[in-house]
Structure 1
């Protein structure tokens, strides 16, 4: 068994924590535990996003580093007479990755109940049925109950959170890390480690490390957090699609695990700010930090909300290439994580008033 170092222990606690949109408390407490020693102040917006403030220069520009706390999951909507759970997806899911997967229901009292998304055995499926994807609306969760009354006696009720189950795992190649919820606990971890690095550095600005809520249902927490902060510059730290597995074409993604952070030039919520994009690229090249360009036409990041705050804030998304997004388990490369932390630390150190003014009018 691989012994976890301090950084891996943090990643395990973040990814093992349970938190779908609107139910981020457990994850927020983990993030607070790790980031509080490096922050001057911890506050929250009205939806529950965590905001860790660190002052370098009190009259310097305000720089927002945002990861989001929530993961894709499900919510209990109904319990049938036989004790099977009907549910609603919360965030984007592809039905083919869901059947027969283990899940955890969290009751209003905080108790956890194990279940599995039910599936028919192939023995009773017609040849035609085997070829068709199963509709999510027809899926159910089996928690080993015999009646609706038994389920309700266990404290389960509509609105309860359901999360995928998977334990954090360091793979045989120890650079490869397997876990649920890399989307987007890795962004939260980056924010924590950047603030940790800045303890030893002078930075000519005020940094706000954010763990935003409800990204997976419309970039909501980033909007309220950014309205609270009113940043001059915004970075969204998130995951992006890896293109290095069989079946993923170069038209879908060019990125490879281990080739550095992804600089997102375009997504459905944001055209990356030209001046900020050039600033990021120049710093990466100056320091010989590997990077990859990527676009995400079918999805957005919290930068989409941050850049529209007040009169506007130059923003960009910097992401980690990730395999098997929005499923029970996905894979990242540790070098990409560490290079992203280094890049963001160095960017913050250079974002003084002159640099921000130049970026705005590039």
Structure 2
């Protein structure tokens, strides 16, 4: 793997940014986008995109900055921190994990704890523990000491897991590929297109607050008012033990995912077919995803103004919405390759042909 790409991945995934607290990753993305574009546009929530080209039609390409995390809701008299989820969490993946509490005096390490299993009744052990039964232990003796460390109600909390390349160097481990993978793709597309003459105007970057309701996607789409939009995200890999073919066939290394259905969107058929044909004609591997649950920024992009033909291009990932996740390098790069081919093919007449149903 190229050193430059590895450094980008590490910077994106090691930088914190839970919903509503995307400041750190926002600044990383802003600096990175600035190396490809002289024009950066933002909405009032913090979504940002760099502008490339000067074509008549506008294309929006965006991942989302935020990752699932937590927010401090209460400090007990004994100095333990109660918290609430920012984004979707499952109790099984949370206990005994280290976390980072981001205070105004600096970052603190804590661990998520609960009532010890040794004292649980048999029926209690069979249940997934609810978040309100958990706490974060930062080693404070009491509330006053916790507050002296800088902890306040409303402080954000992030996961801890440094970026790592596994022995199979195509397999990449990180805290938050959901959705620093999308951020990586949007930056790499800009890198590939830098200096090229585009048949359109591309706005590429990332939204905020996707994990808590696709909020930045709505505001960014209204800001940019694109003709075509692409959301870049991750999908749930189903290539692990215990998964059946009926539950899915998405595997790491088999190509990017083209979303054909989710809870928030049925993709525009003409755009869907155009993307599929582009992948086929350029021998770019791809996988298809149809899921009953889940949603992406595409769910808001396609409803902006009079409607925006939208497609979701993702990469499969294992263990999302936990303290660790895994993706395949080739899937990331093939997503970039596909989006570059699609974007450079979308001239004004093609975009007009894609719009509508006639």
TM-score, scaled relative to structure 2:
0.97
Which ranges of structure 1 fall in alignment gaps of 5 or more residues? none
Structure 1 residue 119, shift from structure 2 partner: 3.5
TM-score, scaled relative to structure 1:
0.96
1:33 pairs with one of 26, 31, 39: 31
Structure 1 residue 250, shift from structure 2 partner: 2.3
- Which whole-Å CA distance do the structure 1 matches of 2:288 and 2:183 have between them? 22
Partner of residue 328, structure 2: 333
1:240–1:320 Cα contact (<8 Å) kept? yes
Which ranges of structure 2 fall in alignment gaps of 5 or more residues? none
2:63–2:179 Cα contact (<8 Å) kept? yes
Q: Deviations over 1:25-58 (max 9, x none)?
A: 1001111222211113012110011121112xx2
Structure 1 residue 120, shift from structure 2 partner: 4.2
Structure 1 residue 121, shift from structure 2 partner: 4.2
Q: What CA RMSD, in Å, does the superposition of the two structures yield over aligned residues?
A: 1.3
Structure 1 residue 4, shift from structure 2 partner: 7.2
The DSSP-based 3-state class of the residue aligned with 1:21 is: coil
2:26–2:65 Cα contact (<8 Å) kept? yes
- Which whole-Å CA distance do the structure 1 matches of 2:279 and 2:126 have between them? 47
- Which whole-Å CA distance do the structure 2 matches of 1:325 and 1:248 have between them? 16
1:80 pairs with one of 73, 76, 92: 76
| Structure 2 residue 65 is matched with structure 1 residue 100 | no
Partner of residue 208, structure 1: 203
1:346 pairs with one of 325, 341, 346: 341
1:38–1:196 Cα contact (<8 Å) kept? yes
The DSSP-based 3-state class of the residue aligned with 1:270 is: coil
Flag as ranges the 4+ runs of structure 1 deviating above 4 A.
none
1:103–1:162 Cα contact (<8 Å) kept? yes
- Which whole-Å CA distance do the structure 1 matches of 2:67 and 2:4 have between them? 23
Number of corresponding residues: 357
Partner of residue 188, structure 2: 193
| Structure 2 residue 203 is matched with structure 1 residue 233 | no
Partner of residue 139, structure 1: 134
- Which whole-Å CA distance do the structure 2 matches of 1:115 and 1:289 have between them? 44
